[in-house]
């Protein structure tokens, strides 16, 4: 079971971790929108050596606003590694809530207060596109099919009662990230989100979903690729088989 049950412990201060790679045009507006709705929230930009100058812009933001911090990484090592670095940075400080948010505007900062409100009765809150009230904007049908299919497959393989386990807009209580073994998380991209949510569920924490509107980015290029999807399929299948195997072993022990 979880070390700290939901509904207990402070929910401030809040750190929003924003990984970036070539997001110079998007970073300033998203930070401005975030602080318009949550003036007390701190931001950590985790930049993977963007050649377009995103890291330089992040430095400018930190000099202008002490609520903004930047963590420079020297190479593009993937979304998962960027978030792990951000989580570790947060845990070295006194943040009570750590939020994942994309830099490209697809995650509306205006939805974040509702995610944080839901943490009162949860340990991890997922911003969900696929629960009642959730929706996507400007997505091609092929992308929607891929997302819905990936979530359905993950739900069936893992037995997780979550409709949007692949989503990247989420808020963690500090206790969750302290409990999970972040150092051995190797998954990236699309799969990283499944991995962290599944570890949270397995650890006995309470996970809830809050509907969000997900808007396709207007500037820049999507980081989605075939390799990311293939990694997710492979890892979820492996986790699902391990889960089934453990269930069979438990049944045999009971019968024995």
Decide if pLDDT at 29 tops 90: yes
pTM: 0.86
**CATH architecture observed for domain 14-255:** Alpha-Beta Complex (3.90)
Burial per residue of 1-35, b for 16 or more beta-carbon CB atoms within 10 angstroms, e otherwise:
eeeeebeeeeeeebbbbbbbbbbbbbbeebbeebb
The per-residue pLDDT for range 204-235, each reduced to its tens digit, is 999 999 999 999 866 555 555 556 667 667 67
Per-residue pLDDT reduced to its tens digit, 76-133: 778 899 999 999 999 999 999 999 999 999 999 999 999 999 999 999 999 999 999 9
pLDDT given for residue 3 in this prediction: 45
For the cut 50, the answer to whether the pLDDT of residue 22 exceeds it is: yes
More confident residue, 144 or 53: 53
**CA atoms of 238 and 178, how far apart (whole Å):** 25
CB 103 within 8 A of CB 23: yes
> What pLDDT, on the 0 to 100 scale, is given for residue 2?
44
Kindly report whether the peptide bond that precedes residue 108 is cis, defined as omega within 30 degrees of 0.
no
Q: What is the mean pLDDT of the chain?
A: 88
């Amino acid at each position: 079971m979880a070390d700290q049950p939901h509904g207990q412990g402070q929910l401030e201060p809040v750190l929003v971790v924003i990984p970036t790679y070539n997001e110079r045009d998007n970073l300033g507006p998203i930070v401005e929108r975030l602080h318009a709705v949550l003036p007390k929230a701190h931001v950590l930009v985790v930049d993977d050596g963007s050649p377009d100058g995103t890291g330089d812009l992040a430095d400018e933001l930190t000099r202008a606003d002490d609520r903004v911090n930047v963590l420079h990484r020297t190479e593009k090592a993937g979304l998962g590694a960027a978030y792990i670095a951000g989580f570790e940075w947060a845990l070295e400080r006194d943040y009570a809530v750590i939020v994942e948010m994309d830099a490209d505007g697809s995650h509306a900062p205006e939805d974040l207060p509702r995610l944080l409100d839901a943490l009162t009765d949860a340990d991890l809150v997922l911003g969900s596109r696929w629960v009642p009230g959730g929706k996507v904007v400007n997505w091609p049908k092929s992308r929607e099919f891929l997302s819905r299919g990936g979530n359905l497959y993950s739900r069936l393989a893992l037995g997780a009662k979550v409709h949007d386990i692949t989503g990247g807009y989420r808020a963690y209580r500090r206790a969750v990230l302290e409990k999970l073994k972040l150092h051995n998380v190797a998954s990236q991209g699309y799969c990283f989100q499944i991995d962290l949510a599944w570890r949270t569920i397995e650890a006995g924490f309470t996970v809830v979903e809050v509907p969000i509107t997900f808007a396709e980015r207007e500037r820049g290029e999507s980081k989605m690729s075939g390799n990311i999807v293939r990694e997710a399929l492979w890892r979820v299948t492996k986790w699902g088989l391990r889960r089934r195997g453990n269930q069979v072993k438990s049944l045999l022990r009971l019968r024995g």
